[in-house]
Amino acid sequence: MPKIIYGGQSYECDEGSVLDCLTAHGVAVPSSCRSGVCQTCLMRVTEGEVPEKARAGLKPTLAAQNYFLACSCYPEKDIEVALPEAGLGRLEAKVARVEYLNADILGIRLKPSRTFEYKAGQFINLFKDEATARSYSLASVPALEEELFLNVRKVPGGLVSGWAFADIKAGDTLTISEASGDCFYVPGQPEQNILLIATGSGLAPLYGIIRDALLNEHHGKLSLYHGSYNADGFYLVDELRRLAQAHPNFEYVPCISDGEASVGYASGMVLDVALADNPDLSGWRVFLCGNPNMVNAAKQQTFFAGASMRDIFADPF
Ligand SMILES: Cc1cc2nc3c(=O)[nH]c(=O)nc-3n(C[C@H](O)[C@H](O)[C@H](O)COP(=O)(O)OP(=O)(O)OC[C@H]3O[C@@H](n4cnc5c(N)ncnc54)[C@H](O)[C@@H]3O)c2cc1C
C-alpha cells in the first residue's frame, strides 16, 4: 500500500485519492469540486512521481514544476507532497552590478550565495527588511548567465523600488526568496507561434523567456511587442534588435502610444498594434506582462482572437 508523506508524517493511502487520504487524517488541504476541474487542491510532489492523470488539465508550466491535483491523484508508489505555498526558501545574494537601463528602470545583477534553480521569467521576492518584500521577475536565463538579472521600475513613493534606486549598490548583500511563478517557456512545441506583449518593466520576464526559447531552438514565430508612451520608455533596445537580426523567427516591435513614432517604432497602443498584426491567435502561446489594465484586457482579447486559456500566461504588475 503506497504511503503519502506530508509535513514529516506518513499516511497509508489505502483506496482513495491523495486528497481523500490527507483530509481523512485531518490535514487541511484546500479543495472544492473534487473532480479535477477547479484546481483548488493543487499540491506539489517533492519526492517520487504521481500518475500522469493527476496532472490532467494543468498548465504545462505547473506540470513542469511537479504540481498535481490531489483529488485526481491515486498514487501507485510512495510519494512526498507539499502544499504550493509551503514556504519559498530565502537566501543571500551579492549585488554584482547596478546600471540604469533607462531613466526609470534599474538593472540589478545578483550572484546568489548558493545553487539557485529557476526558469527565465519566474520571479523572486526581494526583501528590503524582514517585513517588507516585493516580487521582481527574472530577465536572466540560467544556461546563459551566472547572475540573476532584475529590471526594477521606479514607482513614485515606492518603498522597495525607491530603496533600490537610492541605496542598492555593487557589493551589497541582499536577501531574496527562491523563484516562483508560472510565466516561463516550456520546451516541447518548437513550431508553436508565441506572442509576447509588455509595458514598462514587464519586458523583464519576456526578455528571459525569448532568449530561453531561442536557446531551446524554438522555430515558430516569436513576436515581442513592447509598449511605452514615448521612445524614452524603452530599454534593452540594442540587445533586442541584435537578437532579431540573428534570429529571423524573432520580431521586436517597440510601440509608442503617444505621438508620432519614428523609423523602427510602431505607433499606437501596444495591444492594438499586436492584435492588428496578428488577428488570428489560434494555436498560439501568449505571454502578457506589465500594467494590469493592459494585461487584463490582453488576456480577454487574445482569448477572443483564438488563443486557448491554457496557453495564456500573464503577470500583471
Ligand atoms: C509576479 C510579479 C512580478 C513583478 N515583477 C516586477 C519587475 O520585474 N519589475 C518591476 O519593476 N516590478 C515588478 N513587480 C512589481 C513589484 O513587485 C512592486 O509592486 C513594485 O516595485 C512597487 O513596489 P514598491 O515597494 O516600490 O511600491 P509600494 O510602496 O508598494 O507602493 C507605493 C505606491 O505606488 C503604488 N504602486 C505599487 N505598485 C505599483 C506599480 N507597479 N505601478 C504603479 N503604482 C504602483 C501603490 O499603490 C502605492 O500607492 C512585480 C510584481 C509581481 C506580483
Q: What tens digit of pLDDT does each residue of 237-249 get?
A: 999 999 999 999 9
Q: Per-residue confidence at 14, pLDDT binned at 50, 70, 90? A: confident
- Residue 134 Cα to ligand 1 middle (Å): 7
Co-location of 121 and 62 in the same domain: no
CATH code (residue 25): 3.10.20.30
Phi/psi of residue 131, each to 5°?
-105, -5
Q: Of 59, 82, 105, which closes a domain?
A: 82
CA dihedral (156, 161, 162, 165) positive or negative: negative
What spacing in Å lies between the alpha carbon of 135 and ligand 1's midpoint? 8
Q: Could you tell me what percentage of the chain is helix, strand and coil, using 3-state DSSP and rounding each to the nearest 5?
A: 25, 30, 45
Instruction: With a cut of 90, say whether residue 278 has pLDDT above it.
Output: yes
Fill in the DSSP letter of residue 89. Answer: -
pLDDT band of 86, cuts 50, 70, 90: low
Same domain, 66 and 114: no
Residue 189 lies in a domain: no
Whether 153 and 233 map to the same domain: the answer is no
Which of ligand 1's atoms lies nearest the C-alpha of 128?
Answer: 25
Asked whether residue 233 falls in the same domain as residue 284, the answer is yes
Q: Residue 84's pLDDT is what? A: 77
When pLDDT is averaged across residues 265-272 and rounded to a whole number, the result is: 96
Are 266 and 311 in a shared domain?
A: yes
Q: Are 141 and 215 in contact (CB under 8 A)?
A: yes
Query: Is the same domain home to 280 and 221?
Result: yes
Judge if 37 and 77 occupy the same domain. yes
Same domain, 199 and 312: yes
- Ranking 16-20, 32-36, 221-225 by mean pLDDT, the lowest is 32-36
Domain that holds residue 69: 3-82
Distance 204 CA to ligand 1 centre (A): 13
Evaluate whether 66 touches 180 at the Cβ level (below 8 Å). no
User: Would you say residue 303 lies in a domain?
Assistant: yes
Helix (H) or strand (E) holding 97: strand 90-102
**How far, in Å, CA of 262 to CA of 107, rounded?**
26
Residue 116: the pLDDT is 93
Pocket test for ligand 1, best of 161, 168, 229 (most atoms within 8 A of CB): 161
Asked whether the predicted pLDDT for residue 70 surpasses 80, the reply is yes
Mean pLDDT taken over the chain: 93
3-state secondary structure 147-180: CEEEEEECCCCCHHHHHHHHHCCCCCEEEEECCE
- Residues in contact with ligand 1 by the CB-under-6-Å rule are 123, 134-137, 151-153, 155, 157-162, 181, 201, 204, 315, 317
Of 170 and 84, more confident: 170
Q: Please state, for a pLDDT cut of 90, what percent of the chain lies above it.
A: 80
pLDDT of 89 higher than 80? no
What pLDDT shows up at residue 88? 67
User: Do 146 and 229 have their domain in common?
Assistant: no
Least confident of 206-210, 256-260, 272-276: 256-260
- The residue among 53, 82, 111 that closes a domain is 82
Instruction: Name every residue whose Cβ is closer than 8 Å to that of residue 33 and which is 6 or more positions away in sequence.
Output: 40, 71
Q: Each residue of 147-201: pLDDT tens digit?
A: 999 999 999 999 999 999 999 999 999 999 888 888 999 998 999 999 999 999 9
Q: Is residue 162 part of a domain?
A: yes
For β-strands 42-47 and 79-82, DSSP reports them as: antiparallel
Atom of ligand 1 nearest to the CA of 156: 34
Spatial separation of the C-alpha atoms in residues 170 and 189, rounded to whole Å:
40
Q: Say if residue 292's pLDDT is above 80.
A: yes
| Residue 241 and residue 150 share a domain | no
- What integer pLDDT is reported at residue 259 of this predicted model? 78
